[in-house]
Amino acid sequence: MSARDEILARMRRALDGAGEAPVPPRDYRRELDAGTDITAMLVDRLVDYKANVHYGLEEIASALGGVKRVVVPADLPQDWRLGGAEFVPDADLSTADLDGMDAVLTGCAAAVAVSGTIMLDTGAAQGRRAITLVPDHHVVVVRPDQIVGHLAEALPMLDQTAPQTWISGPSATSDIELQRVEGVHGPRRLDVVLL
């Protein structure tokens, strides 16, 4: 008997006579109350997560903060390329090339107000995952129609077959002594431009 078969046999014996698993409740909230300002809630969560929030297309240049080289998805709208930076379209740039970029500018698929989560699914104006994870500064543009209250509202907006990145503030982690370190698993700085 292989180790795998032995483990599975032990599991079967342990579950023998356990009965049917209970049906999990599915009556959780799926949307916010009418009249809730979901944009204000999203901004509150983003600020709490230490993301910088800007308003209006013209603020993209300010969000980029004078950086020199910005990687962008090939299909990023031309009118989003604001400021004096060199905008480098991603054509399967290497990790080393991406690491040499000062920032990345993308769109998103959805933004969830309750959790302050920006969701990307490699769709229009988002590019591949690597461009959003390697550069140290991510500027993401969110349209009003992409903001929803709850996760249950956002999931249908995503391409379920594509790689996804869910962002809740700049990348951060803490060690055993609770020392917060930013930029470990993605961009150290997140700027969100709300259109």
Reported as a single tens digit per residue, the pLDDT across 62-87 is 999 989 999 999 999 999 999 889 99
CATH number at residue 180: 3.40.50.10420
Task: Supply the pLDDT for residue 1.
Answer: 85
Residue whose structure tokens are 């009556």: 27
Q: In whole numbers, what is the pLDDT of the chain averaged over residues?
A: 91
Task: Supply the pLDDT for residue 185.
Answer: 63
Residue 65 belongs to what domain range? 30-194
Within a domain: 16: no
Task: Give the count of domains, the chain.
Answer: 1
Angle at 132 between CA 67 and CA 30, to 5 degrees: 125
Task: Supply the pLDDT for residue 174.
Answer: 65
Segment 133-151 shows an average pLDDT of 95
DSSP string, 112-179: ETTTTEEEE-S-TTT--HHHHHSSSEEEEEE-GGGEESSHHHHGGGS-TTS--EEESSS-EEE-TT--
Which H, E and C letters describe 32-64, residue by residue?
CCCCCCHHHHHHHHHHHCCCEEEECHHHHHHHH
Kindly report, residue by residue over 32-65, the tens digit of the pLDDT: 788 899 999 999 999 998 899 999 999 999 999 9
Reported as a pLDDT band with limits 50, 70 and 90, residue 168 is confident
Within a domain: 13: no
Segment 149-161 shows an average pLDDT of 94
Task: Supply the pLDDT for residue 160.
Answer: 95
Within a domain: 140: yes
Within a domain: 12: no
Within a domain: 2: no
Within a domain: 7: no
| 3-class state of residue 4 by DSSP | helix
Within a domain: 21: no
Kindly report, residue by residue over 83-126, the tens digit of the pLDDT: 889 999 999 999 999 999 999 999 999 999 999 999 999 999 99
CB 104 within 8 A of CB 137: yes
Task: Supply the pLDDT for residue 182.
Answer: 63
Within a domain: 20: no
Task: Supply the pLDDT for residue 95.
Answer: 93
Least reliable range by pLDDT among 3-12, 29-38, 145-154:
29-38
